[in-house]
Amino acid sequence: MSFGSFDNRSSTNTMSEINMVPLIDVMLVLLVIFLITAPLLTHSIKVQLPQATAQPVENEQKTLDLAVTLDGALFLNNEPVALEDLSQTLAPYATETPQPEIRIRADQETRYELLAQVMSQAKASGMARLGFVTRPGAERQTSPDAGGVGVQLPTVPAEPAP
């Protein structure tokens, strides 16, 4: 192996050999690391697990269907109920374990005020789970000046002239 010198008079050729010593040092360090860690990765404790057969637990979720018509009539599981009595009607269901879910099916033209009162009565009775039933696939109009974004325009009924 030849070494270059600082004397420029001896040779004008450049040294074209790669110093391999640092590369060999790095390779040996990596080899030692892998030799030490490889047995640790495969080390495991052998345990004989017990075998048992079990049937899956079927948890049938009970739901309460609350229908709200356009004129404000309420039906709990197809039975008519008054808005004032809704809290008392739902109170026995609130103590059940697991608590049933209330699914509200409302007409699309139902006033939000009535739905807010229904939700308030359900909360006052102690019910914690509440959902809304919708029908998928109903296309609504989009605004032409929305730039194709697809802003939904709700249909607002015209108020009768006095």
Is the torsion defined by CA of 33, 36, 38, 41 positive or negative? Answer: negative
Query: Does the model's pTM come out above 0.85?
Result: no
pLDDT over threshold 60, residue 152: no
Shortest CA distance to 110 belongs to which of 152, 65, 72?
72
What is the fold of 63-132?
Nucleotidyltransferase; domain 5 (3.30.420)
pLDDT over threshold 60, residue 73: yes
Helices (runs of H) and strands (runs of E) counted in the chain: 3, 5
pLDDT in tens, 31-54: 999 888 887 777 667 776 777 777
Please name the residues in contact with 83: beta carbons below 8 A apart, sequence gap of 6 or more: 72, 74, 114, 117, 118, 121
Which residue ranges make up each domain of the chain? Answer: 63-132
Whether the upstream peptide bond of residue 157 has omega within 30° of 0, thus cis, is no
- Quickly list H helices, 3-151: 21-42, 86-94, 112-125
Query: What is the rounded CA–CA span in Å between residue 101 and residue 62?
Result: 7
pLDDT in tens, 2-36: 555 565 555 567 777 888 899 999 999 999 998 88
Helix axes 112-125, 86-94, angle to 10 degrees: 40
